[in-house]
Structure 1
Amino acid sequence: MVKNVKRFIFSQSMPMVFLLFMVGCAPVISKQIRDQVKPDVSFTEVLNDPERYKGQMILLSGTIAETENTREGTLLRVLQRPAGFRGKPKDVDETEGRFLALDHRYLDVAVFTKGRAVTIAGEVQGKRILPLDEAEYTYPLIYVKEIYLWPVEKSYYSPSPSWHIGFGFGYYH
Structure 2
Amino acid sequence: MRYLLVLTLILLLLAGCATGPRYETTGVATDLVPSEVSASTQDYQGSQVIWGGMIVATRNLADYTELEVLAYPLENNQRPAASRTPQGRFLVRAPGYLEEVSYAPGRRVTVTGTLGEKVQGQVGEAPYTYPLVHARDTHLWPLESRSTDSGSNTRFSIGVGVIFR
What range describes the TM-score normalised by the shorter chain of this pair?
0.7 to 0.9
Match of 2:10 in 1: 17
Report deviation, 1:30.
4.2
- SS of equivalent to 1:17: helix
Question: How many Å separate the matches in 2 of 1:76 and 1:93?
Answer: 21
Deviation string 1:127-149 (CA, Å, 9 cap, x unpaired) is 00112211111000110001000
Residue pair 2:121, 2:130 contacting (<8 A) in 1 also: yes
Q: Which runs of 5+ in 1 are unaligned?
A: 1-7, 159-173
Structure 1 equivalent of residue 128 of structure 2:
137
Structure whose alpha-carbon radius of gyration is higher: 1
The letter of the residue matching 1:146 is D
In structure 2, what is the equivalent of residue 78 of structure 1?
Answer: 69
User: In 2, Cα distance between the equivalents of 1:98 and 1:127?
Assistant: 12
In structure 1, the residue matched to 2:103 is 112
Relative to the length of structure 2, the TM-score reads 0.76
* Superposition TM-score, scaled by structure 1 size: 0.72
Q: Which of 94, 117, 134 is residue 126 of structure 1 equivalent to?
A: 117
Provide the identity percentage: 28
Coordinate RMSD, CA, aligned:
2.8
Q: Give the Å deviation of 1:92.
A: 1.1
Higher deviation after alignment, 35-44 or 122-131: 35-44
What is the distance in 1 between the residues matched to 2:65 and 2:29? 25
Report the CA distance between 1:67 and its aligned residue.
0.3
Contact 1:25 1:86 in 2 (8 A): no
Indicate yes or no: 2:82 matched with 1:91: yes
Post-superposition shift, 1:46? 2.1
**Gapped runs of 5+ residues in structure 2?**
150-165
Aligned residues: 149
